[in-house]
Amino acid sequence: MEWRTDWGLRGRMVLTILLLGGLYVVFLAVLWTAFQSLLVVVLLFGSFSLVQFFYSDRLALWSMGASEVDPTEYPELHRSVDRLAQQADLPKPTVAVAETSMPNAFATGRSQDTSTVCVTAGLLQTLDREELDGVIAHELAHIKNRDVAVMTIASFLSTIAFLIVRWGWFFGGGHNRRGNPSIFVAIAVSLVVWVVSFLLVRALSRYREYAADRGGALITGNPGALASALVTIDGRMDRVPKEDLREQAEMNAFFVIPIDRGFVGRIARTHPPTEKRVAKLRDLERELEI
C-alpha cells in the first residue's frame, strides 16, 4: 500500500512541537538565570538526556516485566513480525513478550535499527490472527514514524520541570528561611512549564496515534482488522484486575490502547477515544475500497 501523508494531522503535530519549543526556550532561560551558570544547566540536561535517550527502551521493557523471545518460543508471532516488517520496509525489530493478562502492545527503541515490538500474553490470547497483525502493524508504524524518539525528546524537558518542582524546594534551601529566591522563581516557572507541556505532549501523543493507526492499516491493507482489534482490546480492559492496571499506568504513552481508569488516567489521556479511532479506520476502509 502507498504510504500517504495526512497533512492535516501533520500540521497539528508541527504546531504542537513549535509551542513546546517556545515554552522550553523560556524554561531554559529561567533556569540559566536561576542557576547563574550555563555549565550547570548544560551538565544537568546533557546527562539526563543521554540516560533517557539511550536507556528509555530498556526501562520500558523492564517496567512491564517483558523479555525478548526467539522464534522457537513464539514462531507465529515472529512470522507475523517478519512479514509485516518487510511490508513496512523496516528492519525486523526485536520481539518481546510481557507476561501480563492485560491485552496490549507497544513499541520502543530510539531508532528503526534498535527497535522492539512487545506484546502481552493477554493480547496473544485475545486476538485472532488478522487482528494481531493489525496491532503489530500499528506498532511498526510507530517505529517507521520514529514516534518513540519524538515522544522521548518532546517529554524530556517536561520531565526535568517535574523533577525541579518535586526536589527544587529542598535543594534550593526551602527547608530554612534563607532559601535562594531565584530558585523559588525557577520552581514556580517549572510548575507552569510542567502543566502546559503535560497537556501539549499528550495532545501530540494523540495525534501520533491517529497517524500510527493509518500507517498500520496501510501496511496490512486491512483497516477493519485493526478497528476490530481496538474494540476487542478496549472491551477487555474492564476485566483486567485493578492491581494490574495500577502497576502499568506509567506505560500509557506506549500502549496501543491506553489505561484510562480513574481520575489520573482520564486527565493524562495519551490516546484518542477508541470510537474516534475506529471511525477513522472505517473511513479509510471505505476509501481503499473505491
Q: What is the band of 287 on the pLDDT scale with cuts at 50, 70, 90?
A: confident
Instruction: Check residues 290 and 2 and name the one with the higher pLDDT.
Output: 290
Instruction: Check residues 290 and 171 and name the one with the higher pLDDT.
Output: 290
Instruction: Indicate whether this model's pTM tops 0.85.
Output: no
CA 285/CA 279 separation, integer angstroms? 10
Block residue for cell numbers 472491551: 235
- The pLDDT tens digits for 168-222 are 665 554 544 455 566 777 788 888 888 888 888 888 888 889 999 999 999 999 9
81 burial via Cβ count (<10 Å: 0-12, 13-18, 19+): buried
Would the CA dihedral through 241, 204, 134, 70 be positive or negative? negative
Q: All 3 cell numbers of residue 163? A: 523533577
CA distances (Å), 47 to each of 50, 162, 172, 237, in order? 5, 16, 20, 38
Q: What is the arithmetic mean of pLDDT over 253-259?
A: 52
Q: Which amino acids are annotated catalytic?
A: 139
Please tell me which of 33-47, 182-196, 245-259 the model is most confident about, judged by mean pLDDT. 182-196
Q: What is the band of 28 on the pLDDT scale with cuts at 50, 70, 90?
A: confident
CA 288/CA 282 separation, integer angstroms? 10
Average pLDDT of the residues of the chain: 79
Cα separation of the two ends of the chain: 14
Q: What is the band of 50 on the pLDDT scale with cuts at 50, 70, 90?
A: low
Block residue for cell numbers 501539549: 200
Q: All 3 cell numbers of residue 168? A: 527544587
Q: What is the band of 6 on the pLDDT scale with cuts at 50, 70, 90?
A: low
pLDDT of 236 over the 60 cut: yes
Q: What is the arithmetic mean of pLDDT over 278-284?
A: 93
- Lowest average pLDDT, out of 39-53, 140-154, 210-224, goes to 39-53
Residues 106, 256 contacting (CB under 8 angstroms):
yes
